[in-house]
Chain A
Amino acid sequence: MLSEICEGKTLSSVVREITQETINLYAEASGDFNPIHIDESFAAQTPLGGTIAHGMLILAYVSEMMMQSFGLSWASGGKLSVRFKAPARPGDTVTVSGKIDSIEHKNNILYANCSLECCNQKNETIVIGGAVVKLP
């Protein structure tokens, strides 16, 4: 959990290695066996040129960062909105980072507005978006 919730506060990053095994495990856990994720020969023939991680796997890392920062407030009062800009591929290292841009009062409730980004090891943005957390 964050020791202090204030504007400008950087959230602790989450870093994960993407491997084909990671992707296969996620396919098993989620039931999403789209061949673009798990069939290397199929994926090689698509414009993507190879398998890619499930978008929901990357969002799980985003959610991990938000849980680490805001605890159960995230799971009971969080809101996430992201765009997938580029795929994460086996061999990539994904770093999820975020920052509290503002703290807002609405109807006597405090909200933390956060910006989020996931980058690969080349510092290319793969996911970008924002989150809002209702604070206790």
Chain B
Amino acid sequence: MSDKGKKEAYITYGELVPGYEFPPASYELNTALIAKYVKAVDSSAGKIAPPLAIAACAMATMSGALSLPPGVIHASQEFEFFKLVPIGATVSCQARVAQKITRTKMRMLVLELSVFNEDRERVQSGKATIVLPIERADAE
């Protein structure tokens, strides 16, 4: 997945604070990108972009700018879909750190995601909770 606004600079877990906003990124949901996605998820393409394909773009906005230790896993996920997005449209994705949680044996990040269409209407929002391995997070 490639985006138009990708930055080369990475931020580490240690540098993140609640409220931190990742650099926004935009994605053209072109036929090739959607075809690759629907093949990967063993689905079929229609005229609208699959909501989870758009969600994957939103997640990439965060992961493309964040240097996390290997072994990060997904703990929970929420999504809300507001509007249909046709294939060929360009969406803008924003991600921010909602919470940074440190427990005895794990560290977690809660990330909020928002996706907008070309008219700046919110088409999707989400919240991801990811778990980082403690030893490697400590080394960051």
Binding site for B on A (CB under 8 A): 16, 22, 25-26, 28-32, 34-36, 39, 42, 46, 48, 52, 54-57, 59-61, 63-64, 67, 72, 74-84, 87
Residues in chain B near residue A74, CB distance under 8 A: 51, 81
Q: How far is the CB of A17 from chain B (nearest CB, A)?
A: 9
Q: Which of B67-113 contact A (CB under 8 A)?
A: 70-84
Residues in chain A near residue B17, CB distance under 8 A: none
Q: A29-B36, A56-B74, A59-B77 are in contact. Are A77 and B82 (CB under 8 A)?
A: yes
Contact with A along B19-37 (1 / 0, CB 8 A): 0000000000000010011
Q: A25-B39, A30-B59, A36-B70 are in contact. Are A79 and B77 (CB under 8 A)?
A: no
Cross-chain contact B78 with A56 (CB below 8 angstroms): no
The total of Cβ contacts below 8 Å across the A-B interface reads 120
Residues in chain B near residue A39, CB distance under 8 A: 70
B126 closest partner in A (C-beta): A80
How far apart are the CA atoms of A36 and B74 in the complex, in Å? 11
Residues in chain B near residue A79, CB distance under 8 A: 78-81
A16 closest partner in B (C-beta): B42
Cross-chain contact A84 with B55 (CB below 8 angstroms): no
Contact of A82 among B36, B55, B60, B77 (CB under 8 A): B77
Query: Which 5 pairs across A and B sit closest by C-beta, in order of nearness?
Result: A55-B74, A31-B1, A60-B41, A29-B40, A25-B40
17 extra A-B contacts, CB within 8 A, seeds A30-B59, A35-B71, A36-B71: A26-B41, A29-B36, A30-B56, A31-B56, A34-B70, A34-B71, A36-B70, A48-B71, A48-B73, A55-B74, A59-B77, A64-B41, A75-B84, A78-B79, A78-B80, A79-B81, A84-B75
Contact with A along B56-68 (1 / 0, CB 8 A): 1001100110000
| Most chain B beta-carbon contacts within 10 A, residue among A22, A36, A60 | A60
At the interface, yes or no: B11 with Cβ under 8 Å from chain A?
A: no
Contact of B51 among A28, A48, A57, A63 (CB under 8 A): A63
Residues in chain A near residue B48, CB distance under 8 A: 72, 75
How far apart are the CA atoms of A52 and B51 in the complex, in Å? 23
Residues in chain B near residue A63, CB distance under 8 A: 50-52
Cross-chain contact B60 with A77 (CB below 8 angstroms): no
How far apart are the CA atoms of A34 and B51 in the complex, in Å? 22
| Most chain B beta-carbon contacts within 10 A, residue among A29, A46, A78 | A29
Residues in chain A near residue B83, CB distance under 8 A: 76
Residues in chain B near residue A78, CB distance under 8 A: 51, 79-81
